[in-house]
Amino acid sequence: MEKLTFYALSAPEKLDRIGAYLSERLIRDVGRHRYGYVCIAMEALDQLLMACHCQSINLFVESFLKMVAKLLESEKPNLQILGTNSFVKFANIEEDTPSYHRSYDFFVSRFSEMCHSSHEDSEIKTKIRMSGIKGLQGVVRKTVNDELQANIWDPQHMDKIVPSLLFNLQHVEEAESRSPSPLQAQEKEKENPAELAERCLRELLGRAAFGNIKNAIKPVLIHLDNHSLWEPKVFAVRCFKIIMYSIQPQHSHLVIQQLLGHLDANSRSAATVRAGIVEVLSEAAVIAATGSVGPTVLEMFNTLLRQLRLSIDYALTGSYDGTLSLGSKIIKEHEERMFQEAVIKTVGSFACTLPTYQRSEVILFIMSKVPLPTLHHAVDAGRTGENRNRLTQIMLLKSLLQVSTGFQCSNMMSALPSNFLDRLLSTALMEDAEIRLFVLEILISFIDRHGNRHKFSTISTLSDIAVLKLKVDKCSRQDTVFMKKHSQQLYRHIYLSCKEETNMQKHYEALYGLLVLISIELANEEVLVDLIRLVLAVQDVAQVNEENLSVYNRCALYALGAAYLNLISQLTTVPAFCQHIHEVIETRKKEAPYMLPEDVFVERPRLSQNLDGVVIEFLFRQSKISEVLGGSGYNSDRLCLPYIPQLTDEDRLSKRKSIGETISLQVEVESRNSPEKEERVPAEEITYETLKKAIVDSVAVEEQERERRRQVVEKFQKAPFEEIAAHCGARASLLQSRLNQIFEITIRPPPSPSGTITAAYGQAQSHSIPVYEMKFPDLCVY
């Protein structure tokens, strides 16, 4: 062998003839089953290959690969392993000159086939599979970085290589369970095909360029589909963790796009399959967020929300094609519910990894998908439409709650922009109690920036709030601006939410938490005064009971007010204020415990059957509170004013309203623009006194306007139908007269330049003459 090697190095031009001779001998020995000579020939080829690196090695390599292919075609496992080991040695050699005509198609196919070996002997089967994986690894190393070689990333090759590696990854537990003794554990671990396949897959994906990711990922998705591996989803998650940690970070979004496309392609598959894809997407998206997600953020959320809507439709109809299938509806509803929860979990887990600016965009995007009734667009009608809208609203609000949980933003103006807040608060006025609760929880998650929410999970009247260890910061300038712009809107929705008769304990706990968090996070002196007025107005709602609330709702409102005023009095640290609140609470404890949270917000509330005889000692008095807080520098004039919410069109759109209220709002708008009320007012000189008077009278004008609105609403609610019809008829006749005047002006012929003639009735009547007979002034002639 030494002489042969020396001869080959001395005369490189003879190397191709040496290879041809050894190849001929090996093929003859294989045919005659002289396997000893076969091993000698392969050993000689291996040593010559390792020693010689001249330019004429290409012809020798052709003979070498022909012999390796001959060994791999043999049915003898030992010869297959021998040929694979020789090929691996060849794959590790860096050639000086490229080869333009060399093909590895046979080796890819044969090594892939060896990876699926099903030999009867488990030991031999493991060795053959290991050899197949090593051979594929050699092919990848030899071709992946050589542009002149056959492109290993073509689908025809990837469709063989990737499934072969995944097939061996599936049998990791079976391979590990064959360890005969602890002494051989280390040796068995080295012979494990699953670990070798994982290393080969990582190496393959790590070498993938931007344009090759799609061809490498598509076989993975097809393999998981063909072998039904989405439903247990353990193996699928493991595969994509390997993929995400192996590829270059800037390519992560390509994998996400592949998964999103596959989810859309399987939109009519079983819910368990779709749930598995979503779980894998969740894991992959979290890993991708640490690198670069790129432009796929909104695309991902759009796909997930679209799948959520489809799942709701499937659950309602009981089938994927829109026809009702009673036989499988119960099972399908259960599966679809699991899928919906998986989607919501994925939305939340991925959103938590995004930076603040992207998270804000996602929040706005999800909110824009919530179906809401507006002036121009109504939600789906009918029973099925109502169910679809309700389920869609609930699922999207659940997703929004997941995204907003833990959201930290120092500027509330950017966290709750006007368009988002308007849509969210309009949802807070819906009839559905579950939807209202989600809205309250979402608001709380946005406002709670110091993690105080869990400290108010239960409503109570603590004698010392120091045990809560609240984290309180001074209200920033941005928060002050936010409250000046949106405070009345927030107060109004809190007030109206308190009046809902379908409220349960969770609703009151959420309202309490929202009030307290506004006081801690966003409150200055003006906000505190308004919040106290709001809570006293809620107490009046329970006392007057114009809404015909149940006993539980009235007691809950009393208890809510007591718990909030008890906490806010200790936060303001005004002794007289604290004393008044403490006195009322103590009085209630002795004579009316059903007005305190300790008796109301329990599993079995202890209520009073008669709340009409509530004495003044049980109530927090607005006059007393304004007196004690006014002495400490608070605005006593504002405290004396009862809180009255501003009514807007939002009530008509978000809640059920009578036809009379709807018509009254329309007639009120028309009456404002009515020509009957148009009067020409002479221009008034604007002076300092005029401006002062306008500012002073603004409150009175608002009260008068509010009273006028109430009278109009009351008129259309209580007036008989004939009176309303007569009013509308008068309006219609007035409109018709105006239209007649307009038509008369537009249709009347133009006046004649020659003058007018007098009609029989003595009125001037215009007389039209042809244009060619008209006499024009000289200036018009040209």
For residue range 176-208, what is the model confidence (pLDDT) as tens digits?
A: 445 454 544 454 445 688 999 999 999 999 888
Question: Residue 265 in contact with residue 277, Cβ under 8 Å?
Answer: no
pLDDT category of residue 74 using cuts at 50, 70 and 90: confident
Question: Residue 310 in contact with residue 267, Cβ under 8 Å?
Answer: yes
Backbone phi, then psi, for 380, in 5-degree steps? -60, 135
Nearest of 661, 563, 545 to residue 614 by alpha carbon: 545
Higher pLDDT, 501 or 679: 501
Q: What's the whole-number mean pLDDT along residues 115-128? A: 89
Whole-number pLDDT of residue 55: 54
Higher pLDDT, 26 or 215: 215
Whole-number pLDDT of residue 21: 74
Whole-number pLDDT of residue 96: 59
* Dihedral sign, Cα of residue 396, residue 400, residue 403, residue 406: negative
Q: Give the least confident one: 246-250, 285-289, 612-616, 758-762.
A: 758-762
Task: Give the DSSP letter of residue 765.
Answer: E
Tokens 């209520």 belong to 607
Percent of the chain with pLDDT over 70: 77
Question: Residue 11 in contact with residue 54, Cβ under 8 Å?
Answer: no
pLDDT category of residue 273 using cuts at 50, 70 and 90: very high
Position 769 pLDDT exceeds 70: no
Position 17 pLDDT exceeds 60: yes
Q: SS3 of 612, please?
A: coil
| Number of helical H runs and strand E runs in the chain | 35, 2
Whole-number pLDDT of residue 320: 73
pLDDT category of residue 343 using cuts at 50, 70 and 90: very high
Report the alpha-carbon distance of residue 201 to residue 206 in Å, rounded.
Answer: 8
Higher pLDDT, 600 or 4: 600
Position 684 pLDDT exceeds 70: no
Question: Residue 526 in contact with residue 635, Cβ under 8 Å?
Answer: yes
Q: Give the least confident one: 261-265, 304-308, 759-763.
A: 759-763
pLDDT category of residue 681 using cuts at 50, 70 and 90: very low
Q: Give the least confident one: 296-300, 730-734, 750-754.
A: 750-754
- The DSSP code sequence of 281-300 is HHHHHHHHHTS--TTHHHHH
Question: Residue 307 in contact with residue 347, Cβ under 8 Å?
Answer: no
Report the alpha-carbon distance of residue 394 to residue 434 in Å, rounded.
Answer: 8
- pLDDT tens digits along 85-114: 888 888 877 765 556 556 788 889 999 999
Percent of the chain with pLDDT over 90: 25
- The DSSP code sequence of 94-105 is --SS--SS---H
pLDDT category of residue 299 using cuts at 50, 70 and 90: confident
Element (H, E) at 179: none
Nearest of 528, 415, 413, 409 to residue 482 by alpha carbon: 413
Tokens 């469709």 belong to 159
- Whole-structure pTM value: 0.71
Q: SS3 of 685, please?
A: coil
Report the alpha-carbon distance of residue 259 to residue 646 in Å, rounded.
Answer: 49
Whole-number pLDDT of residue 763: 45
- pLDDT tens digits along 429-465: 888 899 999 999 999 999 888 888 888 888 888 888 8
Amino acid at 203: E
Higher pLDDT, 735 or 421: 421
What does each C-alpha distance from 244 to 56, 209, 291, 725 come to in angstroms? 42, 14, 10, 70
